[in-house]
Amino acid sequence: MDAFFETPGFADTLRAAGRDRLLSRVTMQIQSGGIPRALEAYAAASTPNIVLLELGSRDLELERSKLESFAEACDVDTKVIVAGSTNDVDFYRWLRENGVSDYLLLPTGDAAVVDVLYRAMNIGRSAGRVIAFLGAKGGVGSSVLCHHVAAETARKSGKPSLLVDLDVGFGTAALNFDLTPLKGVAELLFSSVAGEAEAVEKFVLRADSNLSLIGTGASLLRGIAITPEHIERTIRRFRESYSYTFLDLPHEWSDWIRNALIDVDDIVVVAAPDIAGLRNTKAMFEALRQMRPNDEDPRLILNMAGVRGRQELRARDFQAAAGKEPDLVMPFAPETFSEAATEGKLIFDVAARSAEARKLQNFAGVVVPNLRVDTTESGNLMSRLFSKSKA
């Protein structure tokens, strides 16, 4: 897209909007000179997908005639957004009748600019939330914690939720829910004929009443490479169908993983309290902050803390190195975790009253805001009365 501003204030707003994560793949050229400069620019070149024009004055007659000449230079499939400080219904109507897709009333903040651009690009902000879990190292519990947080979110929110195992060929999501994956994520992502035409629902297993699961059941004999374009498209489809989607990512730093990390709403990094965990967490936080400058920091879990006899780093060491205090410190609890894994159950089921279960439940409320107010506390009076009378 190209943007032609008239005032330096709006140029700053445009630059701030351009740093938004979902616009990070949009090539945004910001130039001064307003409509006259745009006319020069497109005298010989064709117009891009989106052109944003700031009006140079409040003289509506003059601005109308400039826009009319611009319309002649503009390709039919280019979306035109106009920004100006005039608040006039007739002018607005005239713009719409003449094919302008949106009018930004100035002054405005970068959030409003981002919204208008999302609209022009058909990116829905209101669609479902996507949360990715990623280990700072392999084997640190990223998957198992992801599965628990997904299950807790589905249960407490009561909203359709999806857990996607992206550790193609090696994933444990289906195992952890005692399910056998039939058609896995690999098929969904790569048999583009079937995958594109059919609803995501066709590929899922039911793990719990509100939790669907896409497990990996791919044969290791067939090589599978997820591409950045595939993951982007698939995440968009998940978002359309589910309120919450949890991506269980393998421990890699490839192109498609980086693309996924740009697309998701929230990231949870899981690290073990050792030197490699610390170093990788620091590197990942630095990279993620650069990739997502307008977003909050990722969440950080320190997992498997307190192994007897092991020298361990602490939360404050992570705070010092990565600039992020862990949101959750999870103790090493081999009995609980291995019992759950062996039975294909969650620790909420095998050890409902354990500290680990409680910590994970609280953490789900941190990752997915508003989750906590949904049920337990507000509770339903009748059910509380019943539970009392039963006791």
Q: What does the binding site for ligand ADP look like in residue numbers (CB under 6 A)?
A: 135, 138-144, 172, 303-304, 330, 332-334, 337, 341
> Residue 297 has what DSSP assignment?
P
Map the footprint of Mg ion across residues 371-390, applying CB under 5 A. none
CB of 330 to ligand ADP, least distance (A): 5
Residues 161 and 153: their CA atoms lie apart, in Å, by: 8
Q: For 79, phi and psi rounded to 5 degrees? A: -90, 130
- The β-bridge partners of 300 are 269
8 binds, among Mg ion, ligand ADP, none (CB under 5 to 8 A by kind): none
Strand 266-271's sheet: what is its strand order? 205-208, 211-214, 161-165, 244-248, 129-135, 266-271, 299-305, 328-331
Contact segment (CB under 5 A) with Mg ion among 83-91, 138-146, 189-197, 347-355 equals 138-146
| Cβ proximity to ligand ADP, 143 vs 259, nearer residue | 143
Contact segment (CB under 5 A) with Mg ion among 92-100, 115-123, 141-149, 380-388 equals 141-149
Residues 233 and 189: their CA atoms lie apart, in Å, by: 9
CB of 98 to ligand ADP, least distance (A): 55
139 binds, among ligand ADP, Mg ion, none (CB under 5 to 8 A by kind): ligand ADP
Residue nearest to Mg ion (CB): 143
| Cβ proximity to ligand ADP, 291 vs 341, nearer residue | 341
| Coil/strand/helix, residue 224 | coil
| Cβ proximity to Mg ion, 135 vs 195, nearer residue | 135
Contact segment (CB under 5 A) with Mg ion among 136-144, 303-311, 319-327, 353-361 equals 136-144
Residues 68 and 71: their CA atoms lie apart, in Å, by: 5
DSSP 129-196: EEEEEEESSTTSSHHHHHHHHHHHHHHHH-S-EEEEE-STTT--HHHHTT---SS-HHHHHH-HHHHH
Chain center to CA of 90: 39
CB of 263 to ligand ADP, least distance (A): 20
CB of 164 to ligand ADP, least distance (A): 14
Contact segment (CB under 5 A) with Mg ion among 4-12, 89-97, 116-124, 139-147 equals 139-147
Residue nearest to ligand ADP (CB): 141
Q: Is the dihedral angle over the CA atoms 161, 166, 168, 170 positive or is it negative?
A: negative
CB of 162 to Mg ion, least distance (A): 17
CB of 85 to Mg ion, least distance (A): 53
| Cβ proximity to ligand ADP, 38 vs 278, nearer residue | 278
CB of 143 to ligand ADP, least distance (A): 3
330 binds, among ligand ADP, Mg ion, none (CB under 5 to 8 A by kind): ligand ADP
User: If binding is defined by CB under 5 A, does position 143 make contact with Mg ion?
Assistant: yes
| Cβ proximity to ligand ADP, 233 vs 345, nearer residue | 345
341 binds, among ligand ADP, Mg ion, none (CB under 5 to 8 A by kind): ligand ADP
323 binds, among Mg ion, ligand ADP, none (CB under 5 to 8 A by kind): none
152 and 233 Cβ atoms separated by less than 8 Å? no
| Cβ proximity to ligand ADP, 190 vs 337, nearer residue | 337
CB of 350 to ligand ADP, least distance (A): 12
DSSP 103-142: EEESS--HHHHHHHHHHHHT--SSS-EEEEEEESSTTSSH
| Cβ proximity to ligand ADP, 140 vs 188, nearer residue | 140
CB of 249 to Mg ion, least distance (A): 8
242 binds, among Mg ion, ligand ADP, none (CB under 5 to 8 A by kind): none
CB neighbour burial string for 242-278, b if at least 16 within 10 angstroms, e if fewer = bbbbbbbbbbeeeebbbbbbbbbbbbbbbbbbbeebb
Residues 353 and 368: their CA atoms lie apart, in Å, by: 22
